[in-house]
Chains A and B, each alone.
Chain A
């Protein structure tokens, strides 16, 4: 990214912040939003400069007196609503995806603020260090460059920072990265054979059974699906709202446009299932909770489940399962909940 790009990006972000903080919902700016804004300002002098410039634009508009001379085409008269709407629709669809992903970015960012230890600062002795989270543990870590990593349960990262490259190896699990911008020092996440390169952006990387899943919440990343692809420069570019899965075989599923609210819901402590088997659902829940669920009935395990659950709220899941059929039995002991069927 050259200077102009960085400036353009800073301008865009400054406009977004101005819009959030000064134009809409004036009294409803939350503590976490203010924290994020402060964080953003302290990221770069460019951010400060552009925010002040946007303030200046706003001020100019407030003092502008010739509004009567501003032509607005057909947009003023409600009578023109019908043709305008038709004209708007394709753009509206495109916009809502972007807006949603943006809203989601804020949501993720905001929620990550709430996840305890904000600013746990491991500035010293981080090189080549391992950061890991245990079963049912979610944690947020700030790396020495200011990048914030949110680790989901049972996740293991190895951080290897060098002067010219920031490298993080995702050995298992999944994590959301909010990368501190530094074009001179790219940020590279590797998971198995796959590498994800970012300059300043937010994205999630999951090392799963079926492969490595990369989902971009904000900005742009390059995905390199194998070391040989890296050598040949074959990169897949993903922008906000896109997701790609690199299978273990090395096959790359096509880039998908996803609703990042759902695709990265885990970063907000939510688990989203869509036609997944109960066995998969239970496996996912077990990573987030100490009390482990198990299913004794194969038919039940294969039952399809769709829904959004709080990751730490197994009770809602159990209630959901119980309601889905009257043949379900639930047996509790100290650290286990056994889901069975009483039909056999």
Chain B
């Protein structure tokens, strides 16, 4: 099996849902974490309105596309409604200012802190995946554990990180660069 082949398939897969995800995450900059569930609720209702057969083709792409639309609409609405709220002003002020680097640094630290709540093995697995770009199968053989353990650890760490990560700080990271 050629590495290049695998790489191509990976690229192809990413292409399908990556862009809408990016757009969603970027537009999230104006969605307050407190509103997140309401945005998701709206996305959910839209998912129900669509024909399932259509969504099944590229479920993630559909999901993120809808989410980015909803988030965009939401941010327009909340910008009208919350123009004078301190939070909104703070977001405006943070744009392209030296604070942003600080915030990004803070966000990096926040992720580091969250990662340190994981077990050493979970950390090692994520590190090999994100830093060295190994596949899960390669990680399994590198660490000499079963593929199932790697997969299970991935699932567990994502769950833990989702609870641990501070929404506010990582939000900055999401629209800080690119």
Contacts and interface: CB of A to CB of B under 8 A. Distances in A.
Interface of A: 8, 11-12, 14-16, 18-19, 21-24, 26-27, 31, 34-35, 37-39, 41-42, 44-76, 78, 81, 84-85, 88, 91-92, 95-96, 98-100
19 contacts: A26-B14, A38-B55, A42-B47, A45-B40, A46-B40, A48-B47, A49-B41, A52-B43, A55-B25, A59-B25, A64-B112, A64-B115, A65-B108, A66-B108, A67-B127, A72-B127, A78-B142, A78-B144, A81-B144
B155 A75 contact: no
B127 A48 contact: no
Contacts, number: 189
B109 to A, nearest CB: 8
A72 B173 CA distance: 24
B13 A95 contact: no
Interface residues of B, number: 68
Given A26-B13, A45-B44, A49-B36, 5 more contacts: A35-B56, A41-B47, A41-B63, A59-B21, A64-B108
A26 B8 CA distance: 10
Residue in A16, A21, A52 whose Cβ sees the most chain B Cβ within 10 Å: A52
Nearest to B110: A60
B19 to A, nearest CB: 13
Interface string B9-44: 110111001000100110010000000110011011
B33 to A, nearest CB: 10
Interface string B137-161: 0000011111011011011101101
Nearest to A64: B111
Interface string B38-68: 0011011101100010011101100110010
Contacts of A71: 116, 120, 123
B52 A54 contact: no
